[in-house]
Structure 1
């Protein structure tokens, strides 16, 4: 195993990624269980929805009393980024057979797409995508199930501070993306909008209002210099 990790950079990177995913999966399972989500529903959500950030969001909004419509809309908006992801990898990675395309679409994550696009050779690109997708899917399902079983024995999340794990996990997912000024502006403006509207809107809607901050990421047209 060690020799494979030393000679295969894709396997090494995927292994490191899965090690980090274990922590996130455990935290989601514990949070969902402590929030009152039955174990069976957690397992079904992990297998058929398989959208880490959207799952955290759904559990958090449901715990805050948000409507089903608000939860579904928030999840769809959060995962809308997968549309350009699909265009980026296309047939070169997923192939032209419908079963493979359906399975590959279900396994699509930020990490699997990023690992695939980082490869120059088409064969390595396909290998990186499928290896990352399958490994993360198995890791997420197993670790989240283990977290749910452990979390069911913890009781009230407020007693142990588990209620703080949801915003902490989302913050951990967000921080790596804040690499430039535009991302920081959007994040700060979105947080301000969400906080400002929370006292006045039903649970779940402030996070949708925060999406207005995405306008700050649009390029600002430059004025042409006046001719003298």
Structure 2
């Protein structure tokens, strides 16, 4: 009887797919940068509708540069929320970028002098493109092209949206005050895939709606953030319960077989 091949050796013997060409990495990165960068126009319109000046809108895109946090901030301000509550909601949404940074620092291994600059581009899109590559060189290329194109276009379209909204007058009269929530939902919808994600989203909506008439504007968003730990705790408890019942059933069947 022939012994089965060692899995690691078998994997090594299999033909590996070729590395994507550098031109393909650039093309994919530009596609992501352009597609997402155009959303800056909606942010500029929303920011102007919330009462921010063109300069303030542009500074947010230049210095914050994370779409979900920016939309959350101006939406809370536009609905009358306090600056503290608006900033807290934006902070919690942007905190995920710190975890991206931990992973990318090991993958990219950029020189120390470039790391503070690269940190500004650590967002969902640049992380996704970089992590999809199979070697460090292409990961760096994908990260750089995505970050540069997205940063440039996002800031240009923010300026265009803010100027356009200012020229139109009162954004609420044109229904542009709804642009922020609509785009925010469009950004989140593709992420709601599994059962756990759907449960978190549903509970977050219920918590926000329940808190809306009771708490100041901007605070219901923070309350909705409790949905994630509540659902995860319930899921873990359910798994532990099923594991305990399975163990008891196994013990009972063993006793019955003696």
Pair 1:39 & 2:51 matched? no
Q: How does 1:65-144 map to 2 (within 5 A)?
A: 65-97=80-112, 99-144=113-158
TM-score by length of 1: 0.91
Which range moved further: 131-140 or 31-40? 31-40
Provide the rounded CA distance (Å) in 2 between the counterparts of 1:101 and 1:18: 20
Task: Indicate the structure (1 or 2) with the bigger Cα radius of gyration.
Answer: 2
CA positional deviation for 1:177: 0.4
Query: Could you tell me the TM-score, scaled by structure 2's length?
Result: 0.81
**29, 41, 53: which is aligned to 2:44?**
29
How many residue pairs end up in the alignment?
Answer: 222
Which stretches of structure 1, 4 residues or more, deviate above 3 A after TM superposition? none
1:195 matched to 2:209? The reply is: yes
Deviation at 1:129, TM superposition (A): 1.0
Q: Structure 2 regions of 5+ residues with no counterpart?
A: 1-20, 253-258
Offset at residue 152 of structure 1 (A) = 0.7
Residue 145 in structure 1 maps to residue 159 in structure 2: yes
Distance 1:35 1:154 in 2: 14
Aligned match of 1:16:
31
Is 1:162 the counterpart of 2:176 in the alignment?
yes
2:34·2:149 contact (CA, 8 Å) conserved in 1?
A: no
SS of residue matched to 2:168: coil
**Match of 2:16?**
none
2:37 pairs with 1:59 = no
Q: Which residue of 2 aligns with 1:181?
A: 195
